[in-house]
Amino acid sequence: MKTRYEFKGCTYHLDKTWEYNYDLGPNFKGPYPPFPKVGKWTLLGKKLISPLGVAAGPLPNSKWISAYAKLGYGSLIFKTVRSSAHKCHPYPNMLHLNIKNSKDLKSDKKIVGDSDFPQDVTKMTVSNSFGNPCFDPNVWLAEAKKSKKAIKKGQTFGISVYGTAEESTSLEQLAADYAKTAKLAQQAKPDFIEINLACPNVKGAENPNIYKDVMAVKAITEATKKAIGKTPLVLKVGYYDSYKNLLEVLKPIKGKFEAVAAINTISKTIVDKNGKQALPGRDESGVCGFAIKDYGIETVKNLVKAKKDLKVKFEIIGVGGVMTPKDVTDYLKAGANHVQSVTAIMWNPYLAYELQQHHSR
């Protein structure tokens, strides 16, 4: 779809470290399209300018939040933070993946990654592996407070939090750390808190599949909700291999969360063209972009069904493979209340504007 707004390249400096990108901010200087009016879209009780937002990932500070807020996205989530500083995985952190669609993810076949990112973002699939890095809470909290000030009428602001686990960390301690981080984040007065239960890029004792663990999700959700009180709680989950597992996870926490965001990335083994480890120090990393859309749509449909089967109310945020305005529409038709993107908006920051034009036709 052609518009008078075009951007070539990526807002994330792909040839630089996460720390460099944090300090410099996005590789985007405008122009900015006209800011849209509040429409019929809502999320967690707030009227929004757009049904499309930016999921946790590329917005680690106020420089990034401010830029994407001006671009007209309905929701903006501050990148996942912890209760203590945590280093980023070694560079490089993002690779282009040579796969065509979701069928390539259904086998155990290793996926080849390279640095040759294509120009056509609509069919792009990438791998990212950062490991939920963040600075000391005093630093990220100050940035979160600045970010909140950049949020305009018709937008909603969330903060993604994560609990840090060591080899000796008990489930009770992990849940307490999630709650502690959420309580810290609450000082920035976000509109909601999102607990990241499905990061595929963590290492050591941290479990990338904790969203499938009934007892763990129950403990973390209950502890966090108790800590933040009336602030809406969003659960960020991954792809469930079975509908039964999804029901088992949600049933014990009925009424203790306000929304589910799904999905996070799909974890796969990534190699270079010679079959060797492509990302330093980690064999597996998260696959995101075009190829995971089918997984995301399936999960949204299952969440709609779960609401009926469990007789519980919560909102659904559809995430995964949202590359075009049609992808947003497909998620809404599947039953999502709101939709978020990560990969596409880095290569096409005007996606929210294109969606607005799409809806106005």
The model's pLDDT over 172-193, given as tens digits with 9 standing for 90+, comes to: 999 999 999 999 999 999 999 9
Q: What is the DSSP letter of 321?
A: S
pTM as predicted: 0.97
CA distances from residue 359 to 185, 300, 328, 329, 356 in whole angstroms, order as listed: 35, 22, 11, 9, 5
* pLDDT for res 97: 96
What's the CA gap between 252 and 222, in Å, rounded?
Answer: 10
Span 319-337, average pLDDT = 98
Sequence-separated (6 or more) residues with CB below 8 Å from residue 120: none
| Residue 201 predicted with pLDDT over 80 | no
What's the CA gap between 333 and 113, in Å, rounded?
Answer: 33
Closest CA to 202 of 108, 289, 89: 89
The model's pLDDT over 121-160, given as tens digits with 9 standing for 90+, comes to: 999 999 999 999 999 999 999 999 999 999 999 999 999 9
Q: Which domains are present in the chain?
A: 18-359 (3.20.20.70)
* pLDDT for res 294: 96
Strand ranges in the chain using DSSP code E only, listed in sequence order: 41-43, 46-48, 52-54, 75-81, 94-97, 111-114, 125-128, 156-161, 192-196, 233-237, 259-262, 266-271, 284-289, 315-319, 338-341
* pLDDT for res 4: 76
Span 79-104, average pLDDT = 93
* pLDDT for res 3: 53
Report residue 317 CA to chain centroid gap.
10
* pLDDT for res 361: 63
Rg (CA), the chain: 19
Q: How many CB atoms lie within 10 A of CB 251?
A: 14
β-strand pairing of 259-262 with 315-319: parallel
What's the CA gap between 13 and 25, in Å, rounded?
Answer: 9
What rounded mean pLDDT belongs to the chain?
95
